[in-house]
Structure 1
Amino acid sequence: MRRGSQPSGAVAVIAPAVLLAALLLLWWAGTALTGIEAWRLPGPGAVARRGAELLAQPSTWRRMGVTAFEALMGSLAGAVVALPTSYAIYRFRLFQAAVEPFLGATQAIPAIALAPLLVLWVGYGLAPIVALCALMVFFPILVSSVLGLRHLDRDILAAAELDGASGWVMARFIELPLAAPSILAGLRNGFTLSVTGAVVGEMVMGGSGLGGVLGQQRQNLDTAGMFVTIGILCLLAMSAYGAIYRIEKGRRRAGELS
């Protein structure tokens, strides 16, 4: 395989499976051979049994759907604001000079610290959780999109301008397609973070999703259940990441064929 190339289909499946098997073996050995209490670190078998119990309950799937919906709505809201803002920063120097000093400052504020303010401003329920998710995904989408736009090939842009492209035509057919890999990378990372935002929002502001389940399991010392819930959250984040990665991969293949 050439350096920097994508792994083949077989390698892409076998390598993660081998790593997962090794990690499960180490996990089992750590619990079986050390005698650690199950409430501190349950074994893989106990987690699997608890997972079967939870997944058999309709409420688990309903809560999973709530968290996924909150994360999706927050991601879309963040992207709707971040993408035009990134293009304005790239296109207008005055706007860039005015906005950029404050963007870094917004990331110094922990997401959990914003939750009480959002409750005061928006109230409880779906809206503040979606707002928190949007705030978490905004910055990675913005930064990646601006980076992609700033590194466009100037020769291509100059050639397009000579052909009469400008304004919306330039953005729609030249700049945004060329910056698409960076934009999609930002969306991929941002949408993954939105799951974290949804869980933090539910744990701090209340909610009927998996964040509330984690809080209940912590109070009940249901460590195996917490492992299962965290695993479900990882799968949700991986699903968002994988979906956008497939779109990105499809665009790359289409570009190679054209």
Structure 2
Amino acid sequence: MRFRRLVRGNVEWSLLEGVGREIAKRYGRERVRVEFIDADNWLSTPCVVDDEWFVKITTDQNSLVHALFTSARNLGAFSSGTEGFFEHFADPVEMAEHELEATRRMREIGLNVPKPVEAFEYDGMGVLVMEYLPEFETFEEMEPDRVREYAPKLYGSLAVMHDNQLAHGDLRGENVLVHDGEVYFIDATGVDENRMDEVRSYDLACALAALAPLVGARDAVVAAREHYSAEELLAAREFLDFVNIRPDHDFDAASVKGEIEKLADTERQEAPR
């Protein structure tokens, strides 16, 4: 956590106060109460304003770190036999605007996401304002039986996203929330929309990687099969080693691959001749 704080950097208090004053002015408040969140976040300073808005403040340092991460991920993609498909943003404001637009597009197709409000620039920083979800759980906080209950909803929502030519690009446990019994997505990243087939396979591999440690490889694959074909799971299999080298995923890739291959073999044997 200390390393993440160092990488994320510290925003001067006077600038943070200025962002608070700007939000108060924009939304007709004399003043606002700002509570900063000690989140496991590399790419912004997150806070809650008046228990109503979730705000992410992005700096030049955050943009630089994002560029380094993007380069590393694109190099890692070569391990799956494909060119990189992650995209970097020109500056902090573009980072905030992209997340706002990605969230709007997801909401338009009926996915559960925090309501997007706006993105704006303040003193060279990008400021993203969204609905604040006061109560939620992550999959890591649930008992395995509850994770099994929600796993099909996660894959179903992901399939809707993919069927509408959208992708998340950074799917991991902390970017999927359960609020009021529904699955919500947050923190989508930029990907090359001309490489959507590969990105969809990568997204599915990330979902398998997030769920397998919680419910076991077999249950993670069986739940995915409710919304994805055996062929799509085999395509995702090719990205599992890449996903496994990322520090925010820790799972047994060989077990997940084995379960995908067993499922595909069973379906081939059962197919009419």
Give the alignment's TM-score, normalised by structure 2: 0.23
> Greater share of strand residues, 1 or 2?
2
Larger radius of gyration: 1
Give the alignment's TM-score, normalised by structure 1: 0.24
> Greater share of helix residues, 1 or 2?
1
Q: Which has the higher contact order (CA 8 A, sep 6+)?
A: 1
